[in-house]
Amino acid sequence: MALAIVAQIPYRILCLRRGAPVLGTLAPKIVAFALIFLLFANWLVALL
Protein backbone atom coordinates (compact mmCIF):
# COMPACT_ATOMS: atom_id res chain seq x y z
CA MET A 1 0.00 0.00 0.00
CA ALA A 2 2.76 2.42 0.93
CA LEU A 3 4.65 1.65 -2.28
CA ALA A 4 1.64 2.57 -4.41
CA ILE A 5 1.24 5.85 -2.55
CA VAL A 6 4.94 6.77 -2.79
CA ALA A 7 5.08 5.75 -6.48
CA GLN A 8 2.38 8.29 -7.32
CA ILE A 9 4.77 11.24 -6.93
CA PRO A 10 7.21 10.38 -9.76
CA TYR A 11 4.36 8.94 -11.86
CA ARG A 12 2.40 12.17 -11.70
CA ILE A 13 5.50 14.27 -12.44
CA LEU A 14 6.19 12.09 -15.48
CA CYS A 15 2.58 12.42 -16.65
CA LEU A 16 2.73 16.20 -16.31
CA ARG A 17 5.94 16.34 -18.35
CA ARG A 18 4.56 14.11 -21.11
CA GLY A 19 1.13 15.70 -21.05
CA ALA A 20 -0.54 12.28 -21.08
CA PRO A 21 -0.89 9.30 -18.76
CA VAL A 22 2.18 7.04 -18.94
CA LEU A 23 0.31 3.82 -18.19
CA GLY A 24 -2.89 4.73 -19.99
CA THR A 25 -6.17 5.14 -18.18
CA LEU A 26 -6.89 1.57 -17.06
CA ALA A 27 -3.81 0.90 -14.89
CA PRO A 28 -4.31 3.93 -12.59
CA LYS A 29 -7.95 2.92 -12.08
CA ILE A 30 -6.93 -0.62 -11.14
CA VAL A 31 -4.35 0.71 -8.66
CA ALA A 32 -6.91 3.09 -7.16
CA PHE A 33 -9.49 0.33 -6.68
CA ALA A 34 -6.80 -1.95 -5.23
CA LEU A 35 -5.85 0.73 -2.69
CA ILE A 36 -9.48 1.25 -1.72
CA PHE A 37 -9.94 -2.51 -1.31
CA LEU A 38 -6.74 -2.82 0.79
CA LEU A 39 -7.75 0.07 3.04
CA PHE A 40 -11.20 -1.43 3.52
CA ALA A 41 -9.77 -4.90 4.21
CA ASN A 42 -7.28 -3.43 6.68
CA TRP A 43 -10.12 -1.70 8.49
CA LEU A 44 -12.15 -4.93 8.66
CA VAL A 45 -9.18 -6.88 10.02
CA ALA A 46 -8.64 -4.21 12.66
CA LEU A 47 -12.24 -4.67 13.83
CA LEU A 48 -11.58 -8.33 14.58
Q: What is the pLDDT of residue 1?
A: 72
Render pLDDT for 15-46 as a digit per residue (tens, 0 to 9).
999 998 888 889 889 988 999 999 999 999 99
- Provide the domain count of the chain: 1
User: How many angstroms separate the first and last alpha carbons of the chain?
Assistant: 20
What is the model's pTM? 0.67
Question: What value does the CA radius of gyration of the chain take, rounded to a whole number of Å?
Answer: 13
Structural domain boundaries, residue 42: 2-47
